[in-house]
Amino acid sequence: MPSILDHSKYKINLVVQDSYSGKIYDLAPGVESIIWQTHRIASQPGTLEVLIKEGLKETDMIIHPGSPIRFGVNGKDYFYGNIEEPEITNSALEGVGFRIKANDHLKLLKNTLSIYREKGMTASGFFDAAMTKFDARIRAMGDPGINWAVLEPSVAMLDDYYFAVTTLYTMFKKSMTNTHIAEMGQAQYMIRDNLGTIEWRELQALRTPYILGDSSYTSNYTYANTLDGSYNVIRVFRDNEEIGMRDVWTKYDSTNIGRWRARELTIEAEEHMTDAEISDKIDLFLESKNRTNRTMKMLCVGVNGLQAGDGVQIRTARARIDHAMWLESVTHTYSTKSHIMDLELFVPSI
């Protein structure tokens, strides 16, 4: 396994600026371990956990919560966030040590906002509008503000909707789900932090050249092909106030009913939808849900910079896999002995 002590391959960059004193500390010389974790679901911010050994010699280093921290390898930064919890320990034999826990800027998506999504607005356009309004609000309170960017815009125009005191994440997630349906599953979007800039991305644009499998980076994996979340019967209903009953539309795949038994998903149609639009919605759900769900967990030699949302090629002989999968979550662990990655991967659907 590669070691961070092999400085020709691993030169750790780790800098903190204390938010109270303004002092800048280079923590790299004392690094014992670093754990950097990212998730595809934006409700879970990226995290950095660092173990630092200060040693027996006393220093004046003091780190407060909220202090910005930056982490990188070989001159390239990978994480920029704010310290959530600094912890100091003192041992008579080993001296002073620090355990630092930090979050990236996706933490801000847990804040709430009230905003109206206008009819005809795209999900990415709404993301831009909501971030603009939120940024103006917190800057007025004295916050330094946030950065954001739309790199691969969505194209589907959505209906109007008023989000009353809703978290930013929830309103973006709802808009994304509506977009995946409207765009017939042709694209899948996510939001992730890029060194302090909250970015709107599309998964296909995040494909990397890496190939993981039996002959590269790992032979340690668990592959599951599961029926969890799979449906072969799609029922859509809508209340019909004129007759006091519900209209119901149903489509199914008799072949997979014979294989799996009937597995039914029932969803509600919006009031404005036409019969043709409802039929298209059923087709989209049947296409995306009428299949097994493939997931994989891997323990790999570390690849600097890989994070949740990135796409990689998976090649394993025994599981008969040779296709692209995307990273659901990534945990990098750097220690004085190794750099390894714990990966969870998936095949996208809506």
- What is the per-residue pLDDT across 263-289, written as a single tens digit (0 to 9) for each? 999 988 877 788 888 888 888 888 888
Does 165 lie in the same domain as 83? no
Closest listed residue to residue 190, CA positions, set 34, 28, 46: 46
Q: Please give the average per-residue pLDDT across 232-260, as a whole number.
A: 89
Say how far apart CA 30 and CA 56 lie, in whole Å: 12
Same domain, 197 and 183: yes
Mean pLDDT along residues 39-64: 86
The SS3 assignment for 189 reads strand
pLDDT digits (tens, 9 = 90+) for 176-193: 988 987 887 788 999 999
Q: Are 22 and 48 part of one and the same domain?
A: yes
- Structural domain ending residue among the three candidates 105, 121, 150: 105
How many separate domains does the chain show?
Answer: 3
- Beta-carbon contacts of 282 under 8 Å, excluding residues fewer than 6 positions away, are 234, 236, 249, 250, 251
What single string gives the DSSP state of each residue in 268-333?
Answer: EPPTT--HHHHHHHHHHHHHHHSS-EEEEEEEEE--TT--TT-EEEEEETTTTEEEEEEEEEEEEE
Nearest to 210 by CA among 297, 305, 313: 313
Based on the fold, state whether residues 90 and 48 are members of the same structural domain.
yes
Query: Where is the domain boundary, 289, 311, 330?
Result: 289
2 versus 275: which is more confidently predicted?
275
Q: What is the pLDDT of residue 9?
A: 65
Answer whether residue 303 shows pLDDT above 70.
yes
- Tell me, what's the pLDDT at 5? 46
Confidence of residue 56 (pLDDT cuts 50, 70, 90): low
Q: What is the arithmetic mean of pLDDT over 18-42?
A: 94
**Neighbouring-strand partners of residue 221:** 298
Alpha-carbon dihedral of residues 320, 326, 328, 332, nearest 10 degrees? Answer: 90
Among 72, 105, 138, give the residue marking a domain's end. 105
Secondary structure letter of residue 228 according to DSSP: T
Of 62, 59, 104, 98, give the one whose Cα is nearest residue 81.
104
Domain with residue 76: its CATH number is 2.30.300.10
Please state, rounded to an integer, the average pLDDT across all residues of the chain.
Answer: 90
Q: How far apart are the first and last CA of the chain?
A: 37
Closest CA relative to residue 200, chosen from 208, 188, 210: 188
Q: Are residues 52 and 86 in the same domain?
A: yes
> What's residue 349's pLDDT?
64
Reply yes or no on whether the pLDDT at 54 is more than 70. Answer: yes
Asked if residue 181 belongs to a domain, the reply is yes
pLDDT score for 8 = 46
Return the sign of the alpha-carbon dihedral for residues 150, 152, 158, 163: negative
- CA–CA separation, 296 and 318 (whole Å): 13
Task: Identify the pLDDT of residue 55.
Answer: 67
Read off the pLDDT of residues 151-173 as tens digits, 9 standing for 90 and up. 999 999 998 999 999 999 999 99
As a dihedral over the C-alpha atoms of residue 171, residue 111, residue 64, residue 101, rounded to 10 degrees, the angle is -30
How confident is residue 57, by pLDDT bands cut at 50, 70 and 90? low
Q: Band of the pLDDT at 138, cuts 50, 70, 90?
A: very high
d(CA 227, CA 340): 30
Residue 322 lies in a domain: no
User: Is the pLDDT score of 7 beyond 50?
Assistant: no
**Spatial distance between the Cα atoms of 342 and 330, rounded to a whole number of angstroms:** 6
Q: Hey, how many other C-beta atoms are within 10 angstroms of the C-beta on 259?
A: 11
What is the residue range of 149's domain? 108-204
State yes or no: pLDDT of 241 exceeds 80.
no
Find all residues with CB under 8 Å of 46, minimum gap 6, and list them: 36, 37, 38, 39, 79, 81, 103, 104, 106, 192, 193, 307, 308
**What pLDDT does 186 receive?**
82
Same domain, 191 and 254: no
Percentage of the residues of the chain whose pLDDT score is greater than 90: 65
pLDDT for the residue 189: 95
Across 229-238, average pLDDT: 92
Which among 103, 131, 316, 116 has a CA at the least distance from the CA of 212? 316
In a domain, 313, yes or no: no
CA atoms within 13 A on the CB side of 33: 11
Using CA atoms, how far apart are residues 119 and 109, in angstroms rounded to an integer? 23
**39, 68: one domain:** yes
Give the per-residue pLDDT at 59.
74
Which residue's entry shows tokens 């010389």?
A: 29
Helices (H), the chain: 123-140, 168-182, 254-260, 275-289
Tell me which of 101-115, 138-152, 233-247 is least confident.
233-247
The pLDDT of residue 211: 93
68: pLDDT strictly greater than 60: yes
Compute the distance between CA of residue 126 and CA of residue 116 in angstroms, rounded to an integer: 9
